[in-house]
Amino acid sequence: MVNTSVILSGLKLDNPVIPASGTFGFGREFSEYYDLDILGSFSFKGTTREPRFGNPTPRIAECTSGLINSVGLQNPGIDAVIGEELPRMKEYFHKPVIANISGFSIDEYRYCCERIDAQEQVGLIEVNVSCPNVRHGGMSFGTSPESAAEVTRAVKEVTTKPVYIKLSPNVTDIVAIARACEEAGADGLCLINTLLGMRIDTMRRRAVIANTMGGFSGPAVFPVAVRMVYQVSKACSIPVIGCGGVDSAAAVIEMMMAGATAVEVGSANLVNPCACKEIIEALPAEMERLGIERLSDIIGIVK
């Protein structure tokens, strides 16, 4: 009997599969397709201090082996998440959840993280310093070691739960930024967020996305994600959540061999609402095929 469980900063997950923020909402719609309690956890919709309508439409562009999105952090705001979404979530998810927090200032990050840290349902806080969809938000914080470390320090001062910093791949040296976050007190790292991409409607002679550019995700980015997870996990001593193009049990295992302790599944949820369920169900057979008894044994096994 194989063992799929992993430990993420003291949080035991039955398996390493976590739906990524921005692709799973608050889980309610997906609970109509399957029992969400089979998940390791899930990262809910990126939350800001104030409600956000998001970017103008169209927000989605299809690509070969992926898609570009420019949703723009549409969310109901921290008060509604705490007062409405988390209480509703108790009806269909009975494990600690991951809270994804975004911000447009250090004060906003501090405020939202302090508020969400007090919520019993939240087991881990994921701080997004890397969203490429908002003109003056997360991307600016995640593109230099100094600014990423500043956010990390500010958030750690007001939280008691593990804080994971979600890193952008749209940088020259992701390892330098990862190390800066670790030195500033981060409990873990999540990578990668989306790459910056663009599509053009050649008939209309204009960008497909109303915001011109957006976050490119899907299977096409998987090799980039594996490479960056490998580099960061070798350079840092804190846990890494791997994300980017994961769409199968085989991809989960590959990401873990690169150094990830857990793995987030993003765009695959938009293509197939049962993607995470199918990945979890396929994991034991894939482990047996590869002679893996415990997933925890393969974390960072590639030297």
For residue 134, what pLDDT band results from cuts at 50, 70 and 90? very low
28-52 average pLDDT score: 97
Q: For residue range 93-119, what is the model confidence (pLDDT) as tens digits?
A: 999 999 999 998 899 999 999 999 999
In a domain, 215, yes or no: no
Mapped onto helix, strand or coil, the DSSP state of residue 232 is: helix
Residue 37, pLDDT above cutoff 60: yes
In a domain, 212, yes or no: no
Q: Assign residue 167 the CATH number of its domain.
A: 3.20.20.70
In a domain, 303, yes or no: no
In a domain, 177, yes or no: yes
Predicted local confidence at residue 139, as pLDDT: 54
Give the total number of structural domains in the chain: 1
In a domain, 124, yes or no: yes
Rounded distance between C-alpha atoms, residue 242 and residue 262, angstroms: 6
| Cα 2 to chain centroid, rounded | 26
184-211 average pLDDT score: 96
60-86 average pLDDT score: 95
Residue 132, pLDDT above cutoff 90: no
In a domain, 206, yes or no: no
Q: Look up residue 56 and give its two tokens.
A: 């103008």
User: Cα dist. 210→64, 207, 270 in Å?
Assistant: 20, 7, 20
For residue 138, what pLDDT band results from cuts at 50, 70 and 90? very low
- Which pTM value belongs to this model? 0.96
Provide the residue range defining the domain that includes 127: 6-54+73-190+220-298
187-195 average pLDDT score: 97
In a domain, 66, yes or no: no
Predicted local confidence at residue 149, as pLDDT: 95
- Give the residue numbers annotated as catalytic, written as ranges: 131
For residue 133, what pLDDT band results from cuts at 50, 70 and 90? very low
For residue 92, what pLDDT band results from cuts at 50, 70 and 90? very high
For residue 251, what pLDDT band results from cuts at 50, 70 and 90? very high
Predicted local confidence at residue 136, as pLDDT: 47
112-129 average pLDDT score: 97
Q: Look up residue 46 and give its two tokens.
A: 């990126």
In a domain, 62, yes or no: no
Taking residue 25's Cβ as centre, other Cβ atoms within 10 Å add up to 16
Rounded distance between C-alpha atoms, residue 66 and residue 69, angstroms: 10
